[in-house]
Amino acid sequence: MNTQVKGLTKLISQAALSGALIMCSSIVLAQSFPGGAAITPTDLTATPAQLPAPPPKYQLDDPISHEEFARFAWRQFIYLNSPTKKSNSGPTDVSPVVRGTVDPDASFVTSGNPRFYHSGKSSTDNFSSNILLWESYAHRSELFPKEAKASGNFPTLLPQYDLLNVSVSSNQARFNNLDESSQIGQNKIFFPKNGSTPSTNPYDDYEVLFEAKVNQTEYDYIKGLNVTVGQPLESFDLPNETIEIKAAWRVLSDELAQSGRYHTAEAVYYKGEESALEPHVATFGLIGLHIIRKMENYEAFVFSTFEHVDNLKKPNGADTGLYFYTTYNQLSYQSTVSSTPHAIVNTGTNLVQLPLPKAGEITPANGYDFINGNYTQPTDTSAGPIKVVQPPTITNAVISVNQEVKNAMAQSGQFGNSVWQYYQLKGVQPLPANEDSSVAGKANPLTKDFFLANNVIESSQPGIQLFKGGAPGPLPQPPNTVNCDKPVPASGQPSVNCLPNPRAGDTAANIQNVPNLVVPGVSHGEQNNIVMGGCMGCHGQSKYTNAGGTKSSIFSFLISKDNLESRGGFKAEAFDQNGISLSTAAQKYMATQSK
């Protein structure tokens, strides 16, 4: 029974019991949430796929369940991974697809063909005409080109990448541009090439690369801003229906590329020294996808993330050996964190208390799952290789909805060869909340997926996998650093890189325009005290201070003062980027207008 019918039934039965239907006007009807209804084969095969309407306002007396939010997340995935509309054949300086528009004649079934991308590519054109909807979105370097303002008509725009340290020629451009080679500067992540054991040099293994994209709503909003250098805007408020995407791709072995288990596509990536970076093109496999969407009543965005099912275990059950190197070799908690730092996870059926790594050096003794052996560290200040582990953070609601989708795929009979059967929802964060305070108490329903993290996009504990609180990057420090608060060495290589881990402080503070935000147990006046975790908590760190001096979370790390003033842009990262450059990149991620 969907929410609307449930609400109506309740209303009618209450009215009948009272014998006074006239009382209906005083009873609040439950709001409709079709996006939260059970996933059926029709949802998967609809031509075209539909973007689900926003969830209704969250109400304490009739709360939306986590299952409903999970189904909403899946419907977004179905829509965003459907084919983009092809453009009519026209001039060669126009995009072969209508960027941001779903193909009215194709469906999620179509794009599930393992050869979807490649079958749309001719030998004479570097662009395929078979592009997923989100792949057609604007890359971050199209939103903020090097020292310039976004321009052009988005639906017809050919991908063009002008980064701070490299420009991609038109014949090398592809819709996917993997210009990020680290997990927001904190880790480098790899799949072993041989079995599940890392190679001595990680760059001999299969690296994971990343890209960030935005939809036309955000692109047009940024394009339309009139920013004067040195003067903050009266207000900065990304419009509702803004969508941002972060995608993780891996290099595939020939065997995996032919396995039919991955969505594959050609993508640009980078090699060489930062000052002389060279774009290259190769075929990659999609292994992780963040989707964040801002909507009415959900001004802190709804965060969801999907993973490839083979990221940690191969189809035969063996470990993939997925591992990472940190870009820091020391960790420090702020003094307010207890001597036994921990996280409390709400699985939906119980609470789990997980000890976190201890402060100090990144070593096995301090709680990191190092892989034994002799390895070449990618930088002087990195630590690893460390095995990627999955803490017990996955909720029962998400597990059951993933099964529901799997069943619907089987019932439809059209997904037997689809790559989409090998992707799963990891979790969804609809609203900010505080972490549950004790493992021995009653859980807040909104803390399910509090520590939302993707196993290939956020992999290090406690840095970003069990994230909560502040989100600074690794800081170069002198040796014997205790609290990451020493001055940066004046010259030469730092002896250590320290990752401060506050795990407190206002994260989702001063959320803009959220009069309707309801968080159980927390009044609207207390919203400033929320210390959110996971993806939403991290993005809450991104803030903007307007001309009136009001600082608000804007939840986008793509926005910065320089970028808005058309004096910025992004640096492409080489796949074998070095330590100092990585640290700088981490700081850049967190550099927003207000900092």
Residues in contact with another protein by CB under 8 A are: 338-342, 349-355, 367, 392, 437-442
As given in the structure block, the two tokens for residue 509 are 């503070």
**CB 46 → another protein: shortest distance, Å?**
39
Q: Which is nearer to another protein, 118 or 342 (CB)?
A: 342
Q: Which is nearer to another protein, 347 or 527 (CB)?
A: 347
Q: Compute the distance between CA of residue 517 and CA of residue 508 in angstroms, rounded to an integer.
A: 12
**CB 347 → another protein: shortest distance, Å?**
8
**CB 392 → another protein: shortest distance, Å?**
8
Give Dmax over CA atoms of the chain in angstroms.
Answer: 83
As given in the structure block, the two tokens for residue 376 are 């070449």
Contact 536/302 with Cβ under 8 angstroms?
no
Q: Which is nearer to another protein, 11 or 352 (CB)?
A: 352
As given in the structure block, the two tokens for residue 231 are 């003067």
**CB 415 → another protein: shortest distance, Å?**
31
Q: Which is nearer to another protein, 174 or 468 (CB)?
A: 468
Q: What share of the chain is helix, strand, coil (3-state, %, to 5)?
A: 25, 25, 55
Contact 449/533 with Cβ under 8 angstroms?
no
**CB 439 → another protein: shortest distance, Å?**
5
**CB 15 → another protein: shortest distance, Å?**
24
Q: Compute the distance between CA of residue 289 and CA of residue 264 in angstroms, rounded to an integer.
A: 13
**CB 157 → another protein: shortest distance, Å?**
50
Q: Compute the distance between CA of residue 499 and CA of residue 462 in angstroms, rounded to an integer.
A: 10
- Helix ranges, 23-147 (H): 41-45, 66-80, 108-111, 116-119, 140-143
Q: Which CA distances in Å does 142 have to 136, 170, 214, 563?
A: 12, 13, 9, 11
Q: Which is nearer to another protein, 341 or 427 (CB)?
A: 341
In the three-class reduction of DSSP (H, G, I as helix; E, B as strand; rest coil), residue 219 is classed as helix
Q: Compute the distance between CA of residue 302 and CA of residue 49 in angstroms, rounded to an integer.
A: 20
Q: Which is nearer to another protein, 104 or 442 (CB)?
A: 442
Helix or strand holding residue 401 (H, E): helix 396-412
Q: What is the DSSP-derived secondary structure letter of residue 347?
A: -
In the three-class reduction of DSSP (H, G, I as helix; E, B as strand; rest coil), residue 331 is classed as strand
Q: Which is nearer to another protein, 195 or 239 (CB)?
A: 195
**CB 504 → another protein: shortest distance, Å?**
15
Q: Which is nearer to another protein, 90 or 355 (CB)?
A: 355
- Report the candidate in 209, 211, 295, 292 with the shortest Cα–Cα distance to residue 252: 209
**CB 455 → another protein: shortest distance, Å?**
17
**CB 265 → another protein: shortest distance, Å?**
35
Helix or strand holding residue 282 (H, E): strand 278-295
Q: Which residues contact 543 (CB under 8 A, 6 or more apart)?
A: 509, 510, 551, 552, 553, 554, 592, 593, 594, 595
Cα–chain-centroid distance for residue 465?
A: 12
Q: Which is nearer to another protein, 160 or 366 (CB)?
A: 366
CB atoms within 10 A of CB 231: 9
Q: Which is nearer to another protein, 272 or 391 (CB)?
A: 391
Q: Compute the distance between CA of residue 443 and CA of residue 428 in angstroms, rounded to an integer.
A: 17
Q: Give residue 206's identity as a one-letter amino acid code.
A: Y
Q: Which is nearer to another protein, 141 or 455 (CB)?
A: 455
**CB 36 → another protein: shortest distance, Å?**
26
CB atoms within 10 A of CB 256: 18
